[in-house]
Structure 1
């Protein structure tokens, strides 16, 4: 029996700056991308946040449905969030427009009610922009309620320091969220911004140990660390594996981490048993999926068939 994945997060338009000054709009947002990637891998995925009834929001709804993601958040009259993306040497940098927008038009009670309607608790994923204060207070309340209902909590930190008014408060909010997390993904940039020292793939075991030292026993049972072009590391209840990045021609890296984590969650949702015994295979498939995404402009996660054929 497969486990459903419910996603709480942001959906926004990535307006990518072009050489001639134009902005090319592409649908994005870390949890939005992750939901698509997990569904394309074959998992049962539902998106919890409202989508705007504007033209962008309608397009996002159509894309999610096309990729197999169920829409559980309804519509909002508020506009779609925007991000202006500057890509330099394949690496994106972002400017966000996030006030008075559709994906923040939700309530703790509304999300909790949707989770309660699910007969069997599944995986609740969140992360990225919703973890920025003061929005994180709503997320914390939802995560606490979900845990009491038996849901497994997944978080992709995806820290955005330029959006936060107070970085120290942001990092503290992240630590509060991490304390409630079962399955965590963090990048090397996330860890460095949070104050971890000597961040490198060869130090992964120590970094995971430091993350687990600050939480209750049993939390962070599964941790993935990504290191850009240096590879990734996966720890499932003490069973670990690391791999280098596959050799590809990179178009850009937009959505690579989201594709990686979406495929990882889908692997665990589709095969709930014996995850620790499959740690190497899980990591390999997720890295292949992310590599394929990097050969495409914007976030375009592959299907399982494409991953297997890579």
Structure 2
């Protein structure tokens, strides 16, 4: 009697360690208009809206903003993975100068820093190896030390580490120390993303690089641990590599409302694709993932604030 076919293994869960905050948009009349944000929070929403299992590891505050973030996470299908914190929600003041987006951060004594490596690792002790995504403000010294400890411990357990550099040099007390922290995180990551602005700061370039320079820049960024990577260039487009296969595509044409969360949506969509096929990809799949991620980022840019598309919206748009 033939044996029944083995059940297909479930896709790994994406666990996100990062900041969830309120972006307070500066209006011309001086008023501040709050919207949910934080690069890792945006990314978690983007991946969850593509139908992937996502778990949020940092605490939400018990204050009104924190509970708003928590409700949105639940609505998107994100599972909170830490107890709530009595500390307040972090704030970022966002202003626009031409096409540039400027941020001012308020991050002392806040909920998304109310954790330790021991608390995060204890929360994950009974979970099978998955994908840990981190980066952004979690790499700013001295916070980076706790983040690196989690990355090291999970990598030793067979986890895949995703990293979005997302540099915020205005938060650095010492830019050299910040760069060193980012390079240390890069040495521990498997899937990495950097923007043109990240590369300019990290490599002390005279200007943000162009899309046609991606092939030359990647060897300067790549560490031995890296298996997949993306370099993004704003309105120019993006470049993607998976296990040596590479693709570059221009950005999708769109009527831009603002660019908040575009890079987060791009990388979250890449992760969503890879969670369905974590082993590897051929070149056509690399191009397909890149095209889909660029389309998702364009849809996000057509909306105010970070509003990643759902899987149905992305499919309908030809993603």
TM-score (norm 2): 0.93
Alpha-carbon distance between aligned partners in 1 of 2:306 and 2:74, rounded to the nearest angstrom: 16
Q: Secondary structure at the match of 1:75?
A: coil
Report the equivalent of 1:97.
Answer: 106
- Structure 2: gaps of 5 or more residues: 1-9
Residue number among 164, 189, 196 corresponding to 2:172 in the alignment: 164
Residue number among 181, 205, 214 corresponding to 2:215 in the alignment: 205
Q: Does 1:56 align with 2:60?
A: no
Report the equivalent of 1:129.
Answer: 137
Alpha carbon RMSD of aligned pairs, Å? 1.1
Report the equivalent of 1:195.
Answer: 203
Residue number among 192, 200, 203 corresponding to 1:184 in the alignment: 192
TM-score (norm 1): 0.96
Q: Secondary structure at the match of 2:170?
A: coil
Aligned residues: 305
Alpha-carbon distance between aligned partners in 2 of 1:263 and 1:91, rounded to the nearest angstrom: 23
Q: Does 1:259 align with 2:269?
A: no
Residue number among 76, 85, 91 corresponding to 1:67 in the alignment: 76
Report the equivalent of 2:147.
Answer: 139
Alpha-carbon distance between aligned partners in 2 of 1:280 and 1:196, rounded to the nearest angstrom: 30
- Structure 1: gaps of 5 or more residues: none
Q: Does 1:30 align with 2:65?
A: no
Higher relative contact order (CA 8 A, sep 6+): 1
Residue number among 96, 106, 110 corresponding to 1:87 in the alignment: 96
Q: How does 1:100-111 map to 2 (within 5 A)?
A: 100-111=109-120
CA deviation map 1:160-205 (0-9, x unaligned): 0011111110000000000000000000000000125472211211
Contact 1:35 1:47 survives alignment (8 Å): yes
Report the equivalent of 1:303.
Answer: 310
Q: Does 1:228 align with 2:234?
A: yes
Alpha-carbon distance between aligned partners in 2 of 1:132 and 1:207, rounded to the nearest angstrom: 23
Alpha-carbon distance between aligned partners in 1 of 2:306 and 2:83, rounded to the nearest angstrom: 23
Alpha-carbon distance between aligned partners in 1 of 2:106 and 2:281, rounded to the nearest angstrom: 39
Alpha-carbon distance between aligned partners in 1 of 2:230 and 2:214, rounded to the nearest angstrom: 9
How much has 1:287 moved relative to structure 2? 0.5
How much has 1:275 moved relative to structure 2? 2.3
Q: Does 1:77 align with 2:86?
A: yes
Q: Secondary structure at the match of 1:162?
A: helix
Alpha-carbon distance between aligned partners in 1 of 2:316 and 2:28, rounded to the nearest angstrom: 34
Of 274-283 and 143-152, the range deviating more from structure 2: 274-283
Contact 2:243 2:280 survives alignment (8 Å): no
